[in-house]
Amino acid sequence: MRRSFRFLLRPTAKQTVALTACLDDHRALYDAALEHRRTVYTKAGVSIRYGDQSADLKHIRADDADGQGRWSFSSQKATLRRLDKAFTAFFARVRAGRTPGFPRFKGENRFDTIQWPKNGDGCRWDSQPEHPTATFVRLQGVGHVRVHQHRAVRGTIKTISVKREGIRWYVILSCDDVPAASLPATGTTAGIDLGVASLATTSDGEHLVNPRHLTASADRLAAAQRELALKKRGSKRRRKAVARLAALHGKVRRQRLDGAHKAALALVAAYDVIVHEDLRIANMTRSASGTLQAPGTNVAQKSGLNRSILDAGWGVFLTILSHKVESAGRELIAVNPANTSRTCARCGHCAKENRITQAEFFCTACGHAAHADVNAARNILRAGLALRDAAQAA
């Protein structure tokens, strides 16, 4: 199983300067290689290949020993490969008869990751053994950077990446052969309803993670975005507003990840089989201002950017959940969410009138009353178990 581990870096002031230079040089290399391909393509109609450009790299490094020559040959090649991928995708779209945009130059804020394709080649994880209580990652041209390692790394480290997010730097390890840590069977199953008031509600009536903090941050983020739009291009105030926006984005991302991890952990610990709504289907059927199926008053006010911030949380959550399910040896089932919020979980009566408010469900046929999300989660569970039975019978 492949998994990635992400840790905060704690570079010194000097290392921060070096990291920034390293990122800038990789970006410059990307843009120069793009410029080269562009010129040759528009002037001669010839496309340059990755092999040609990586051969040039040797000369570039030799001619610029204090600049490009400082960094790892392998991470530079990875950067050229990244450009190559952008071109491959571009030509694939051209061949498909579409008119894609030509691969773009990376502005200062559009290039935030450097990848070293192999641990030990221009980078080394957990270097400096004389410091047994701390973790360091050695990066060529930067030195031993301290890592805030808040959890154990398992498996074999394949690639090492460094990413800049606002003023923070992270190291991301991509590992192969991560062992699955199977949890003991609990003999229980659950359906989950994804929502806004709670990230997820289980068919057992539990509400997981109230994203109140996230909602507050989303409001601040939307305000910061509006503020930025008013600033003059190139002004000092605009630069400050951009930095503020980036910091808020980082905060929202961390809050969302934190909440999603907690909710996913709780579910995986408690249930053998977890059933959720298929978001790809849900997104198609969702109304513009509602939750998955039922628009509500507190939700209707949250539109535009705020909505998209909260929406994105479901995708992140399901991704994290699927990783945890896999490593714990549990089972995850996605079902079509159509009608799950308006169908009575007790008698099966399906009517719009059953859903009184965002929070309340009352069956007009049998009188069954329940929290609307719990009722929906029960329907989701039933649909998932039916799918599973059908698959096992086939």
Closer to Zn ion at the Cβ: 307 or 342?
A: 342
Tokens for 38? 């562009």
Query: Residue from 89, 134, 243, 366 that binds Zn ion (CB under 5 A)?
Result: 366
Query: Residue from 3, 6, 349, 388 that binds Zn ion (CB under 5 A)?
Result: 349
SS (H, E, C) the chain: CCEEEEEEEECCHHHHHHHHHHHHHHHHHHHHHHHHHHHHHHHHCCCCCHHHHHHHHHHHHHHCCCCHHHCCHHHHHHHHHHHHHHHHHHHHHHHCCCCCCCCCCCCCCCCCEEEECCCCCCEEECCCCCCCCCEEEEECCCEEEEEECCCCCCCEEEEEEEEEECCEEEEEEEEECCCCCCCCCCCCEEEEEECCCCCEEECCCCEECCCHHHHHHHHHHHHHHHHHHHCCCCCHHHHHHHHHHHHHHHHHHHHHHHHHHHHHHHHHHHCCEEEEECHHHHHHHCCCCCCCCCCCHHHHCCCHHHHHHHHHHHHHHHHHHHHHHHHHCCEEEEECCCCCCCECCCCCCECHHHECCCCEEECCCCCCEEEHHHHHHHHHHHHHHHHHHHHHHC
Closer to Zn ion at the Cβ: 218 or 344?
A: 344
Region of 54-62, 242-250, 361-369, 382-390 interacting with Zn ion (CB under 5 A): 361-369
Closer to Zn ion at the Cβ: 241 or 363?
A: 363
Closer to Zn ion at the Cβ: 267 or 363?
A: 363
Region of 41-49, 206-214, 240-248, 366-374 interacting with Zn ion (CB under 5 A): 366-374
Residues 56-75: x where in contact with Zn ion by CB under 5 A, - otherwise, as a string: --------------------
Closest approach, Cβ 376 to Zn ion, in A, equals 14
Q: What is the dihedral of CA 257, 219, 113, 80, to 10 degrees?
A: 120
Residues 309-348: x where in contact with Zn ion by CB under 5 A, - otherwise, as a string: -----------------------------------x-xx-
Closest approach, Cβ 369 to Zn ion, in A, equals 10
Closer to Zn ion at the Cβ: 174 or 341?
A: 341
Size of the site for Zn ion (CB under 5 A): 8
Closer to Zn ion at the Cβ: 123 or 377?
A: 377
Query: Residue from 251, 254, 368, 388 that binds Zn ion (CB under 5 A)?
Result: 368
Closest approach, Cβ 368 to Zn ion, in A, equals 4
Region of 21-29, 66-74, 143-151, 362-370 interacting with Zn ion (CB under 5 A): 362-370
The verdict on 350 binding Zn ion (CB under 5 A) reads: no
Query: Residue from 137, 279, 294, 363 that binds Zn ion (CB under 5 A)?
Result: 363
Closer to Zn ion at the Cβ: 71 or 361?
A: 361
Q: State the Cα–Cα distance between residues 112 and 166, nearest whole angstrom.
A: 9
Tokens for 244? 């503020």
Closer to Zn ion at the Cβ: 275 or 363?
A: 363
Closer to Zn ion at the Cβ: 308 or 364?
A: 364
Region of 105-113, 157-165, 303-311, 365-373 interacting with Zn ion (CB under 5 A): 365-373
Closest approach, Cβ 241 to Zn ion, in A, equals 53
Q: State the Cα–Cα distance between residues 297 and 71, nearest whole angstrom.
A: 55
Burial group, residue 265, by CB count within 10 angstroms (0-12, 13-18, 19+): middle
The verdict on 362 binding Zn ion (CB under 5 A) reads: no
**Interface ranges with Zn ion (CB under 5 A):** 344, 346-347, 349, 363, 365-366, 368
